[in-house]
């Protein structure tokens, strides 16, 4: 039977390479610019949507699209995605930070040069027939001090370019070590106030959560300083910029982003000592192509069930030797088995054992929760919203990191450790502990577990019933405490067991408990 291909809606220009990458894997409906009022009508039919900056993914829109699994922003920010609503709905949010770093850094210097050399107003002067060279004497960058707030991907590129201009570069970023800042060609300062006092040119390159500069901060800049914002609108008080330029404290300012876009303050827009562009920092042919290709690949991987590095509301740690898709599937399978065989309780214990990096524990716990909650709650549940859904269900999680032995995951409800389920992670995943027994069972498509009296003929009678129903046994493992006592049997089946067959199995006189679990086959690097 053919599997239906996921559908992806692209609301703005993505580029030929990005669309080509998408169409190789999914069905695509793409627009150069979809009218905003058309999005609510189209969205419910799609599994994923890719937006840029013209559209906002609000809670109301997300509520209209129950089959939506992925919302992707082809760009660095996610200000136009309601992350809280997406997470609650189990929708994976993606973006492409850094894909346009070079473009944004170059645009920063394009604005700075236009500002200090009066490019905009001298251009207008020449077009009007003027030639007053004395009126447009500029300022050189060589020897000037440049202050960078935030030295991440874009800030690093700004520092690199500044070095070529012979500028003395300082950076304030509490999240970056001094040696890292030094390696990027800048000197780290410990406080924002210290940076402001040093900066003859100030530029900011942080997320929306970065420092917000009001008049109180901007007044600390040296007299005659220049201020730039090619990051996020609202990080710098535009009224304060205007006032300080009018008063002569600042020599000028350049803005690519605004608190409200497009800006409408006539006094601000009329100033000759300011340069403006329409949110063009990352808008180059090369950057847009790179962003389109990268976000397309991330969406395809997300629709396969993987967690790409572009994920925003479910970041997966970059750990060598760990296959994210495989680990998530194993965790989910573990949860399904625990829910079927491991009892219940308000506290779930998850153990990462035998050298699994500590960083993978939180995401693995989310996957285990997903498998458990699928059996006990209504509505969509996946690793994105598993923690929220668990809280709603009154379930807490305790994560344990344990050394020794091969890499493996285990889960159980508190107080029932003897019923824990353990699965090895490396190579081909195998069930090692289950319902109080020890096994060496490769993860099957369907798992049937029986607890029965250890008497002759039980295995044969179970096999006969399965055979009569046309179900093939792929693997079989047995465990027991003592001869004639209680025995456990774990069977890997090619097909699921229906309720009629389960009833027949339960009627066997030796049968005490029986469990059945559907499992997605997990291979190394598998796709869900």
Whole-angstrom distance, CA of residue 64 vs CA of residue 70: 14
| Catalytic residue of the set 55, 156, 205, 232 | 232
Whole-angstrom distance, CA of residue 449 vs CA of residue 447: 7
Across 388-510, the runs of DSSP E, i.e. the strands, are: 396-402, 408-413, 421-424, 430-434, 437-442, 446-453, 473-480, 486-493
Helix (H, G, I), strand (E, B) or coil at 183: helix
Handedness of CA 453, 459, 464, 466 (dihedral sign): positive
Pair 50, 96: CB distance under 8 Å = no
DSSP β-ladder status, 437-442 and 430-434: antiparallel
Provide the 8-state DSSP code for 5.
P
| Vertex 223: Cα angle to 221 and 225 (nearest 5) | 65
DSSP β-ladder status, 437-442 and 446-453: unpaired
Contacts (Cβ under 8 Å, ≥6 apart) of 252: 115, 116, 226, 227, 245, 273, 274, 275
Whole-angstrom distance, CA of residue 185 vs CA of residue 150: 14
Q: How far is C-alpha 237 from the geometric centre of its chain's CA atoms? A: 30
Say what angle helices 101-116 and 119-127 make with each other, to 10 degrees: 60
Whether residue 486 lies in the annotated active site? no
**Token pair for 338:** 């625990």
In which residue are the tokens 């803005």 written? 255
Sheet harboring 7-10: ordered strands across? 27-30, 7-10, 48-51, 70-73, 92-94
| Catalytic residue of the set 212, 279, 445, 486 | 279
Whole-angstrom distance, CA of residue 331 vs CA of residue 102: 39
Q: How far is C-alpha 281 from the geometric centre of its chain's CA atoms? A: 23
Contacts 24+ apart (CB under 8 A), 32-36: 34/9
Q: Helix count (H) and strand count (E) of the chain?
A: 18, 22
Whole-angstrom distance, CA of residue 233 vs CA of residue 261: 8
Pair 75, 52: CB distance under 8 Å = yes
Pair 265, 241: CB distance under 8 Å = no
Pair 329, 304: CB distance under 8 Å = no
Whether residue 232 lies in the annotated active site? yes
DSSP of 479-495, one letter per residue? EESSTTSEEEEEEEESS
| Catalytic residue of the set 261, 286, 417, 524 | 261
**Token pair for 350:** 């998850």
Catalytic machinery residues: 232, 261, 279
């Amino acid at each position: 039977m053919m599997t239906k291909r996921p559908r992806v809606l692209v609301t703005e220009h993505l580029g030929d390479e990005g669309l080509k990458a998408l169409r190789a894997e999914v069905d695509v409906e793409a627009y150069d610019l979809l009218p905003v009022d058309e999005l609510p009508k189209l969205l419910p039919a799609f599994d994923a949507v890719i937006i840029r900056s013209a559209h906002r993914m609000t809670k109301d829109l997300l509520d209209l699209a129950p089959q939506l699994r992925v919302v992707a922003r082809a760009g660095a920010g996610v200000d136009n995605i309601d992350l809280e609503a997406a997470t609650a709905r189990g929708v994976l949010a993606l973006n492409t930070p850094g894909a346009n770093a070079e473009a944004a850094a170059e645009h920063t210097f394009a604005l700075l040069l236009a500002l200090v050399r009066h490019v905009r107003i001298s251009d207008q002067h020449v077009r009007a027939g003027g030639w007053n060279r004395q009126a447009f004497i500029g300022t050189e960058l060589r020897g000037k001090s440049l202050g960078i707030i935030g030295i991440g991907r874009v800030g690093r590129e700004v520092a690199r370019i500044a070095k070529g201009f012979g500028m003395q570069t300082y950076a304030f970023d509490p999240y970056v070590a001094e040696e890292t800042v030094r390696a990027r060609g800048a000197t780290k300062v410990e406080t924002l106030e210290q940076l402001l006092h040093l900066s003859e040119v100030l530029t900011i390159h942080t997320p929306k959560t970065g420092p917000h500069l009001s008049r109180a901060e901007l007044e600390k800049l040296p007299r005659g300083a220049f201020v730039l914002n090619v990051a996020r609108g609202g990080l710098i008080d535009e009224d304060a910029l205007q006032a300080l330029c009018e008063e002569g404290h600042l020599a000028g300012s350049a803005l690519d982003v605004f608190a409200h876009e497009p800006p409408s303050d006539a006094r601000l827009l009329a100033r000759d000592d300011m340069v403006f562009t329409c949110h063009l920092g990352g808008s180059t042919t090369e950057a847009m192509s790179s962003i389109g290709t990268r976000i397309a690949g991330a969406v395809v991987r997300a629709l396969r069930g993987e967690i790409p590095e572009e994920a925003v509301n479910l970041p997966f740690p970059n750990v060598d030797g760990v296959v994210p898709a495989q680990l998530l599937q194993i965790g989910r399978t573990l949860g399904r088995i625990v829910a079927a065989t491991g009892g219940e309780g308000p506290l779930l214990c998850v153990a990462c054992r035998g050298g699994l990096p500590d960083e993978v524990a939180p995401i693995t716990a989310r996957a285990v929760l997903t498998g458990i909650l699928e059996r006990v709650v209504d509505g969509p549940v996946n690793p994105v919203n598993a923690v929220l859904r668990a809280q709603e269900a009154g379930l807490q999680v305790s994560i344990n990191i344990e050394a020794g032995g091969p890499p493996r995951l285990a889960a159980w409800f508190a107080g029932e450790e003897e019923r824990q389920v353990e699965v090895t992670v490396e190579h081909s995943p195998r069930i090692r502990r289950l319902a109080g027994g020890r096994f060496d069972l490769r993860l099957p498509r369907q798992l049937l577990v029986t607890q029965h009296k250890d008497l002759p003929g039980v295995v044969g009678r179970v096999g006969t019933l399965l055979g009569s129903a046309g179900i093939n046994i792929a693997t079989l493992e047995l465990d027991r405490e003592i001869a004639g006592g209680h025995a456990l049997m774990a069977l890997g089946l090619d097909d699921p067991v229906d309720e009629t067959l389960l009833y027949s199995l339960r009627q066997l006189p030796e049968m005490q408990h029986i469990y059945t679990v559907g499992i997605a086959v997990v291979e190394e690097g598998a796709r869900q």
